[in-house]
Each structure stands twice: as C-alpha cells, then as structure tokens.
C-alpha cells in the first residue's frame, strides 16, 4: 500500500481516498513509464491508485475501478499508442471525465510514445467518449 503524507489525511477527510489515479494501457507502459511514475509519486508520500497494486485478488475489476475513480482527486491518463484501442481504458476515461465535469477533479493527460498522426485518432476517440458520457450520465 502507498505511503501517506500528512496532506493525504486532509484529502481523505474531503472524501478522496486517493490523491492520484493512474489510467494506462498495461501492455504499453506498465513496466516502464507508469511503474516509474507510480514509484516516484508514492516515494513522495502521494497516495496513488494503480490497478496492479490496489485491486484485491478476486475483486470484480470494473466495480473496483469505478469506486477507485470516484475516490480520487487527480487523474493522470497515460495516453499511449494503444490506449484508445482498449475498451477497458476508454470505459475508465468515461468515468474520469464524468468526475472532472461533476466534481471538478483535475485531469493531467500524458501523451506517451505517440506520433503526431496519432493525435487525430485520440481526438476522434475523445469525441466518441463525449457522446458516451452524455448518454451514460444525462
């Protein structure tokens, strides 16, 4: 479990269990960039959710992730080459954007290892996500 600094307890008292939620495509960045970012954040005492470490074996992934998203204050989606091709990642992003719009949570996207041409694909995928949000959260 991640270390907590004194500032962590004040965030928890405002209804946030996690200071940061990392959203990523595991096969793209888990053992490199995302793992290093997670370590750097937790080494600084920032309570960070990463699905590898905080989901208990036997948990249903989707309900556990939705709960972790709802209990997070800052989101860092790591938008890698294959992120948008994962329906699981896009479902996470739908919930993240919903929290951004309804709770005022911060979203700090990181574009990792993508070419300029890939931005068009991300723009198209985000338009699809926006449509899904308005449908799922009227």
Return the active site residues: 92
Rounded to whole angstroms, the Cα distance separating 116 from 37 reads 23
DSSP 8-state class, residue 32: I
Cβ atoms < 10 Å from Cβ of 19: 21
Radius of gyration of the chain (CA): 15
Rounded to whole angstroms, the Cα distance separating 100 from 107 reads 7
């Amino acid at each position: 479990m991640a270390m907590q600094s004194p500032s962590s307890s004040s965030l928890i008292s405002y209804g946030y269990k996690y200071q940061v939620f990392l959203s990523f495509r595991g096969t793209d960045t888990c053992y490199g960039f995302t793992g290093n970012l997670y370590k750097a954040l937790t080494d600084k005492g920032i309570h960070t959710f990463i699905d590898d470490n905080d989901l208990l074996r036997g948990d249903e992934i989707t309900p556990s992730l939705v709960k972790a998203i709802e209990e997070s204050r800052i989101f860092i989606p790591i938008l890698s080459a294959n992120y948008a091709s994962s329906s699981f990642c896009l479902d996470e992003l739908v919930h993240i954007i919903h929290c951004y719009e309804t709770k005022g949570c911060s979203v700090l996207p990181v574009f990792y290892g993508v070419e300029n041409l890939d931005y068009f694909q991300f723009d198209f995928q985000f338009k699809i996500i926006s449509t899904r949000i308005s449908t799922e959260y009227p």
